[in-house]
Amino acid sequence: MENFLNKLERKFGKYAISNLSLYIIIAYVIGYILTLTGSIEFISLNPYKILHGEIWRIVTWVIVPPSTLNIFTIIMLFFYYSLGTSLERTWGTFRYNVYIFSGMLFTVLGAFILYGAYSAAGYPGEVIGMFISNAFSTYYINLSIFLAFAAIYPNMQVLLYFIIPVKIKWIAWLDAAVLLISFFTGNMAIKVSIIASLLNFILFFLGTINVKRFSPGEVHRRAEFKKQTEPKRTGYTTADGRITKHKCAICGRTELDGDNLEFRFCSKCNGNYEYCQDHLFTHNHRV
């Protein structure tokens, strides 16, 4: 799956949305405004309504707020924004995009699979749609952001209630326990919602991500490595004839594609291969 993601990034990496977490927060603000106006029911994830022409719900459900608005919700939104931006810096913009959007896609697929199962059992479609719309939201997708951060930085400390210092891994274990309780005690819609929304976490950490690669010690090691002297470059020529000094061997980006891009040669690859910061520590070594 690692190679598959690399191929995807070469083709579609330029379309990745930078600072995606900020746009998610803005979407929630719009959702809260719609809640106050009583319009939120027209954008929720309701398979019955989607199949009867309201296709915008496939997308608009993501702006439905995961909880009611209060001071704690505002704090949590800022917290998730911080976690999301950290993950984007760690993984790279494209992979963070894939992580978030795959969680949304799996949620939609889960909703339609559940709708099909209940429909086959003879339940009224309108009732099923309302049942699903009340159970499916971005709540568990947000939780997947927290779990991903905790898996990468388990020993990072946060201030619980702004007072008690606690390692983030213990909060993650507590959330996991609550999640299991919700799964085993909840109805079928809750079960499917949990599985679908967290499938991105399962796939990323079992199929693609080496957690140790992003530990604080490893991050420090990479920072020290970046200080090393770079080998001499002969330069590259772009399709439009421009000369560049750097070019990533994975995604093909050059320094002309962004002022914030950094490039380094890999000391473990057999040959003169240069990579951008998003692929220097995630590529397969060429031997």
Mean local confidence (pLDDT), 132-154? 87
Structure confidence at residue 106 (pLDDT): 94
Query: Which string of b and e fits 140-152 if b means at least 16 CB within 10 Å?
Result: bbbbbbbbbbbbb
For 118, the token pair is 């209940």
Mean local confidence (pLDDT), 162-168? 76
Structure confidence at residue 114 (pLDDT): 94
Q: Is the pLDDT of residue 212 over 60?
A: no
Q: Where are the beta strands (DSSP E) in the chain?
A: 157-160, 164-167, 236-237, 243-244, 263-265, 274-276
Which of 60-74, 125-139, 202-216 is predicted most confidently? Answer: 125-139
**Contact 246/274 with Cβ under 8 angstroms?**
yes
Q: Is the pLDDT of residue 229 over 60?
A: no
Structure confidence at residue 241 (pLDDT): 60
Q: Which residues pair with 236 in a beta bridge?
A: 244
Q: What CA–CA distance (Å, rounded) separates 18 from 41?
A: 30
Mean local confidence (pLDDT), 26-41? 88
Segment 241-285, tens digit of pLDDT: 667 788 888 888 888 887 778 888 887 787 778 888 888 878 887
Between 230 and 243, the higher pLDDT residue: 243
**Contact 204/106 with Cβ under 8 angstroms?**
no
Mean local confidence (pLDDT), 180-198? 89
Nearest of 73, 4, 63 to residue 35 by alpha carbon: 63
**Percent of the chain topping pLDDT 70:** 84
**Percent of the chain topping pLDDT 90:** 22
Instruction: Report which DSSP code applies to 264.
Output: E
